[in-house]
Amino acid sequence: MPTILGQNQYGKAENRVVKITRDGDTHHIKDLNVSVALSGDMDDVHYSGSNANCLPTDTTKNTVYAFAKEHGIESAEQFGIHLARWFVNSQEPIQRARIRIEEYAWDRIPTSDANSKFIGSDEVKHSFVRQGQETRVTQVTYDGTNWEVISGLKDLVVMNSTNSEFWGYVKDKYTTLKEAYDRILATQVSARWRFNWSDDEQRMPNWEKSYAETRKHMLEAFAETYSLSLQQTLYQMGSRIINHRSEIDEVRFSLPNKHHFLVDLEPFGLKNDNEVYFAADRPYGLIEATVLRDGVDARIPVDMTNL
Amino acid sequence: MPTILGQNQYGKAENRVVKITRDGDTHHIKDLNVSVALSGDMDDVHYSGSNANCLPTDTTKNTVYAFAKEHGIESAEQFGIHLARWFVNSQEPIQRARIRIEEYAWDRIPTSDANSKFIGSDEVKHSFVRQGQETRVTQVTYDGTNWEVISGLKDLVVMNSTNSEFWGYVKDKYTTLKEAYDRILATQVSARWRFNWSDDEQRMPNWEKSYAETRKHMLEAFAETYSLSLQQTLYQMGSRIINHRSEIDEVRFSLPNKHHFLVDLEPFGLKNDNEVYFAADRPYGLIEATVLRDGVDARIPVDMTNL
Amino acid sequence: MPTILGQNQYGKAENRVVKITRDGDTHHIKDLNVSVALSGDMDDVHYSGSNANCLPTDTTKNTVYAFAKEHGIESAEQFGIHLARWFVNSQEPIQRARIRIEEYAWDRIPTSDANSKFIGSDEVKHSFVRQGQETRVTQVTYDGTNWEVISGLKDLVVMNSTNSEFWGYVKDKYTTLKEAYDRILATQVSARWRFNWSDDEQRMPNWEKSYAETRKHMLEAFAETYSLSLQQTLYQMGSRIINHRSEIDEVRFSLPNKHHFLVDLEPFGLKNDNEVYFAADRPYGLIEATVLRDGVDARIPVDMTNL
Amino acid sequence: MPTILGQNQYGKAENRVVKITRDGDTHHIKDLNVSVALSGDMDDVHYSGSNANCLPTDTTKNTVYAFAKEHGIESAEQFGIHLARWFVNSQEPIQRARIRIEEYAWDRIPTSDANSKFIGSDEVKHSFVRQGQETRVTQVTYDGTNWEVISGLKDLVVMNSTNSEFWGYVKDKYTTLKEAYDRILATQVSARWRFNWSDDEQRMPNWEKSYAETRKHMLEAFAETYSLSLQQTLYQMGSRIINHRSEIDEVRFSLPNKHHFLVDLEPFGLKNDNEVYFAADRPYGLIEATVLRDGVDARIPVDMTNL
């Protein structure tokens, strides 16, 4: 046989599960999109179509919904850990499970003044509005021994309207760009961070708190860095996380430079004093890098942040 | 000539303009997507290709950017009014202008504790993060005499996790749906409301305040209505607006019923006590209606809310 | 009651139905996305939440699938007619039905030479590949007496690499555009055409043939028109249809001018002789107009073509 | 310094370039979306914001357009090779260039009969319509010594309406799926194949012919395989390519199983004899695997096919 099978994985992708937890009249919501990918002893299903080792993708879907009831959804990470452990431990041929989860956040809807007197609360306890632009993500991988948890976010759009410069760069025969001493810096953050928790003997991080704090440090670093390049800002965002969050060893960013070009208003006899910008779509600069704790190995794949 | 020209309009669509206003160190941002559509004496450009009456779409784009400097952007509605007035009044062949604007909202990024002592503020005065899921929209139309302003929003995703029922409906030979006495009600609101301001002699509404209040009433009505049908909830949302906002005469909604189906967990020996739901994509119920002040004429087009 | 209900409609949107018809070994496929919108005596469901007149949207979904079996899918238009007639005629409170359908086209996959000898055909009789970029659409409306059928397409992307000019236009204080004597003209056609078939006594058009011929005339007119403005091209496309297809009385187009800008290569010592273009995303010119048979009334809504 | 910089790359993404080549009256078109990613001696730009080694992303954009003129666009692969070689060879600090290109295909528009007599051709020589659903892609990587070219396609949607079964799989406590002996098999192919051409001494493949033949073999294998699992079909598609195209050593697929569920029509007294299907969106099975020539190393990253 001149051809052979290489790396392979399968499962059900994008299982949309919403879990409501009732604490008296107060409801809590977890809203996830769960994708399962399993690997193992799967040569026969590829070579001959024998499904003897193949747990149907439909079953992996059912498991997601059943586990939402059986284990609840404490956090996306914890839910992924339950699922990955189950698939690897319950099925002999499955040697590795990768669970990817997107989480959508919700805020509570405030109550009208008239109603708040009546219900004794300033929020409707079962009413929600989708929060923010960004999506929280996590990927949990388990091979029966070791865990790898990579969490992050995507589509977090941020902008500094000053404190950004770009000059002193290489100029070759194709260079026409003018140096900038005060520009808008805007990007749509895609970030992934890897936890150093890797086996069941270690104490597990507080996933919810870790996410909130990591996001906060990242945003603060973006806002507080006086930027000479988007690369420098990226590095500050990453090192701020590594320095403040001991549970995280590695961060990777994919940062599109969402260009805001000053519009030339001189043809109309007007001066544009850093006021009026054209927000461009394409092309865009794309800056990608890993920042990691000194001494650890990088393991977040290069392509993972721009999925 | 057996064929003739009917309604026609042209202009530059989706001009992305960002305006930064500097109030000392504190920056303010307006982030718009402006689309211009002009109508008038345009037969020749269609019949013969003579452009003698045709102001280029490129010029309409330039005007958007120049006006951001000349008039500033107080609100999307006010900016649209400046533009519509200009096109109709400055060009003889142009008899009608329709300006559509999307506005993207931004929040300020909080400062880290360390930095807030230093800068004496708990927000970075030039740093922003995109807010929420929804997009604010407006459409301003002017024919040289009368104004029509229709504002609204789209992509506002809301959910009630209880206080929704659906029963007592018609059952024909194709009906299999089971009645529901406690279901999730979720929708992605697209709404448009028409102001009764229509000529320059009237006092103009406070557009920014009107938007904030209208959105608040709509959300509150969604949350506080015990719902027997999404149609009923829609009507409550609309009438709450009409009753509280005297500047608005008409509201139209397009509300997809984003179905959350209870997952059947019985095959796994589990009871699903309104806890675990499958969030479905397609198909979805689609409920659309106009609610208007008694005695006024409806003018928001049927198709406008599901654009 | 200071507020009242205006136009309203409801139903199940985006029912994805695929119908396989087997003609011996040769399979035929119809792949539709069907949206149902019903109107009538629906005040109570809005005012009080009484569903006594309300056929569930779930039932309208079931009807779509049942009708695919009971009536087959001869064409999108014919299928819409079956559905609209059923809803209006079978339910007293329903006075008007609007069925919107998107149709996705498929080609057959050619067979390998080795296999074609074996199966005696140069196509695999049950194997298909999605065809083209465009989506065929139709909207059928019925009120118990009269029919209105508006068909069309969207996302048909076309380009002329020459035979397009743009000059002689109005120049005001914001005009900077340079006249063009040889430019690329590209657009993404959204078109809707209205049939004059309107009651059951008239002979029904051949919907499949009409679509193929209308599309052909439209494409030919785009290609063969030496264009002085996109408006002129639009009018030629419309009048070619009206002149060749007696079953069609009215056409409406929404044509984004997908700008291809000549790149300035002079800074690099190169001459760009209409060779290298930047294909821009936003903003874009947007040209919209109706072309109709002399003497008929226009009925396609202004907003319908840019949905 | 407790944090360090890991893998990093930067450049301008999504440069949309259209190249028109004129062969007398007959025009040819190449329509590309080119993304540049450069790596090398870039520590300073991250650590201190010094741009001394940084060729601006704007310059990489200019280079794309200048090269379209200077070298033409013979094929996406050849164009990527010109660009990658230039960046690595012309700039000391740049040690690796990765060029990703999407290519959009166009067909010629046929001429009307009337016109074809006049122009002596059955096609308008400068008029085009976008072809098909799929996008051709390539990625060229160069480190100054070795080349890696990975080409492929995405969004090629295919369906077999029979000759697909799925049974004999593992059944655990969460399994409810019924075995299928005649089902629809549909997928949206994302495929990447790696060429064994890796240095300038080797003879370069004919990139255009290779693409056309590889696509053909892949489609034929999909159509002609009697499928017991999508994994088996995937393997047949991959091995057909490896067996027929000696220039290719490795193929990776990401195949979503686009489920078409038989609709239960029994509640309506109808029998569904493999005729009426519901085309589901989410969740979907996702089957991913590499097929490679025996004896070669796999190098296509696991995540690359589902970008």
Name the strand (E) or helix (H) holding D70.
helix D57-70
The catalytic position among C154, C217, C258, C259 is C259
Contact between C278 and D16 using a beta-carbon 8 Å cutoff: yes
Task: Name the amino acid, one letter, at C54.
Answer: C
Domain boundaries defined on chain C: 15-103, 106-259+268-306
CB B66 within 8 A of CB B40: no
d(CA B295, CA B290): 14
The catalytic position among C12, C30, C82, C217 is C12
d(CA D210, CA D151): 10
In angstroms, the first-to-last Cα distance of chain B is 34
**Which residues, numbered 227 to 246 in chain B, qualify as contacts with chain C under a Cβ-Cβ cut-off of 8 Å?**
227-229, 231-232, 234-235, 238-239, 242-243
Contact between D292 and A6 using a beta-carbon 8 Å cutoff: yes
Does the structure's ipTM exceed the value 0.90?
yes
Tell me which residue in C174, C176, C281 faces A281 most closely, judged by beta carbons: C281
B173 interfaces chain D, CB cutoff of 8 Å: yes
pLDDT value of position D1: 62
pLDDT value of position A128: 97
Task: Name the amino acid, one letter, at A166.
Answer: F
CB B29 within 8 A of CB B68: no
Minimal C-alpha gap between C252 and chain B (Å): 9
Q: How many CA atoms does the CB half-sphere of C1 hold within 13 Å? A: 10
CB B239 within 8 A of CB B253: no
Contact between A158 and B128 using a beta-carbon 8 Å cutoff: yes
Contact between D129 and C160 using a beta-carbon 8 Å cutoff: no
Tell me which residue in B17, B66, B157 faces A130 most closely, judged by beta carbons: B157
Ramachandran class of D232: left when φ > 0, alpha when ψ lies in -120 to 50, beta otherwise: alpha
B57 flagged as catalytic: yes
**Mean pLDDT computed over A95-103:** 98
CB B239 within 8 A of CB B291: yes
Contact between C17 and D111 using a beta-carbon 8 Å cutoff: no
Interhelix angle for D207-224 vs D230-244, to 10°?
Answer: 140
The catalytic position among C28, C57, C71, C260 is C57
d(CA C196, CA C211): 14
Environment class of A121 (CB within 10 Å of its CB; exposed 0-12, middle 13-18, buried 19+)? middle
pLDDT value of position C307: 52
Whole-number Cα distances in Å, D282 to A17, A29, D253, D285: 11, 21, 19, 9
Collapse the DSSP code of D268 into the 3-class scheme (helix H, G, I; strand E, B; otherwise coil) and give the result.
helix
Strand partners of residue D39:
D96
Contact between A62 and D174 using a beta-carbon 8 Å cutoff: yes
Whole-number Cα distances in Å, B217 to A114, B158, D211: 12, 14, 58
Which residues make Cβ contacts (< 8 Å) with residue A166, sequence separation at least 6? A179, A180, A183, A228, A229, D51, D56
Q: Tell me which long-range contacts D66-74 makes (C-beta under 8 A, separation of at least 24).
A: D66/A174, D66/C265, D66/C268, D66/C270, D68/C275, D68/C276, D68/D17, D68/D19, D69/C265, D69/C270, D69/C272, D69/C275, D69/C276, D70/C270, D72/D19, D72/D21, D73/D17, D73/D19, D73/D30, D73/D32, D74/D207
**Residue A1 pLDDT more than 80?**
no
Residue A214 corresponds to which tokens in the numbers above? Answer: 């990591």
pLDDT value of position D6: 97
**Residue A307 pLDDT more than 80?**
no
For residue A281, list chain C residues with Cβ-Cβ distance below 8 A.
281-282
Q: What is the dihedral of CA D223, D227, D233, D235, to 10 degrees?
A: -130
Per DSSP, the residues of A12-50 read EE-EEEEEEEEETTEEEEEEEEEEEEEEES-HHHHHT--
Tell me which residue in B115, B130, B223 faces A157 most closely, judged by beta carbons: B130
For residue D52, list chain A residues with Cβ-Cβ distance below 8 A.
168-170
What band does D307 get if pLDDT is binned at 50, 70 and 90? Answer: low
Helices and strands, counts by H and E, chain B:
6, 13
**Mean pLDDT computed over D265-285:** 98
Does the global pTM surpass 0.90? Answer: yes
Residue B15: closest CA among D120, C285, C5: C285
d(CA B86, CA B63): 9
CB A139 within 8 A of CB A154: no
Contact between C131 and D132 using a beta-carbon 8 Å cutoff: yes
Which phi and psi (to 5°) does residue C14 adopt? Answer: 60, 55
CB B5 within 8 A of CB B43: yes
Sign of the Cα torsion D177, D180, D186, D190 reads: positive
For residue C112, list chain D residues with Cβ-Cβ distance below 8 A.
217, 220, 224
C281 interfaces chain A, CB cutoff of 8 Å: yes
pLDDT value of position A245: 98
CB D50 within 8 A of CB A235: no
CB B8 within 8 A of CB B25: no
Tell me which residue in B9, B168, B227 faces C50 most closely, judged by beta carbons: B168
d(CA A86, CA C32): 39
Residues of chain C with pLDDT under 70: 1, 306-307
Could you tell me where the DSSP H helices lie in chain C? 43-47, 57-70, 76-90, 113-119, 207-224, 230-244
Name the strand (E) or helix (H) holding B86.
helix B76-90
C62 interfaces chain D, CB cutoff of 8 Å: yes
For residue C14, list chain B residues with Cβ-Cβ distance below 8 A.
282-284
Task: Name the amino acid, one letter, at A226.
Answer: Y
For residue D266, list chain B residues with Cβ-Cβ distance below 8 A.
none
Interhelix angle for D207-224 vs D76-90, to 10°?
Answer: 130
Token pair 């199940």: residue: C12
Q: How many CA atoms does the CB half-sphere of C23 hold within 13 Å? A: 5
In this predicted model, which residue has the larger pLDDT, A113 or A252? A252
Per-residue pLDDT of chain B (307 residues; tens, 9 = 90+): 689 999 999 999 999 999 999 999 999 999 999 999 999 999 999 999 999 999 999 999 999 999 999 999 999 999 999 999 999 999 999 999 999 999 999 999 999 988 888 888 888 899 999 998 999 999 999 999 999 999 999 999 999 999 999 999 999 999 999 999 999 999 999 999 999 999 999 999 999 999 999 999 999 999 999 999 999 999 999 999 999 999 999 999 999 999 999 999 999 999 999 999 999 999 999 999 999 999 999 999 998 886 5
Mutate to test the interface with D, among B259, B276, B282 (most CBs of D within 10 A): B282
Name the strand (E) or helix (H) holding D219.
helix D207-224
Q: Enumerate neighbours of D (3 or more CB pairs within 8 A).
A: A, B, C
Q: Tell me which long-range contacts C142-145 makes (C-beta under 8 A, separation of at least 24).
A: C142/C81, C142/C84, C142/C85, C142/C88, C142/C96, C142/C97, C143/C88, C143/C95, C143/C96, C144/C88, C144/C89, C144/C95, C144/C96, C145/C199
d(CA D86, CA D99): 11
The catalytic position among B27, B28, B57, B244 is B57
Mark D153-173 as b/e (b = at least 16 C-beta within 10 Å).
Answer: bbebbbbbbbbbbbeebbeee
For residue D16, list chain A residues with Cβ-Cβ distance below 8 A.
282-283
B224 interfaces chain A, CB cutoff of 8 Å: yes
Contact between C172 and B55 using a beta-carbon 8 Å cutoff: yes
DSSP character at residue B55: -
B301 interfaces chain C, CB cutoff of 8 Å: yes
pLDDT value of position C1: 62
d(CA D263, CA D261): 6
Minimal C-alpha gap between A97 and chain D (Å): 14
Q: Please state whether beta strands B106-110 and B15-23 pair in parallel, antiparallel, or not at all (unpaired).
A: unpaired
Contact between B177 and C306 using a beta-carbon 8 Å cutoff: no
d(CA A129, CA B222): 10
d(CA A37, CA D131): 33
Which phi and psi (to 5°) does residue D112 adopt? Answer: -70, 155
A190 interfaces chain D, CB cutoff of 8 Å: no
B217 flagged as catalytic: no
d(CA B187, CA B173): 28
> Does the domain at residues B106-259+268-306 carry the CATH identifier 3.40.1050.10?
no
Chain centre distance of CA C73 = 18
d(CA B228, CA B168): 10
**Residue D36 pLDDT more than 70?**
yes
Task: Give the chain D residue nearest C21 (alpha carbons).
Answer: D275
Collapse the DSSP code of D242 into the 3-class scheme (helix H, G, I; strand E, B; otherwise coil) and give the result.
helix
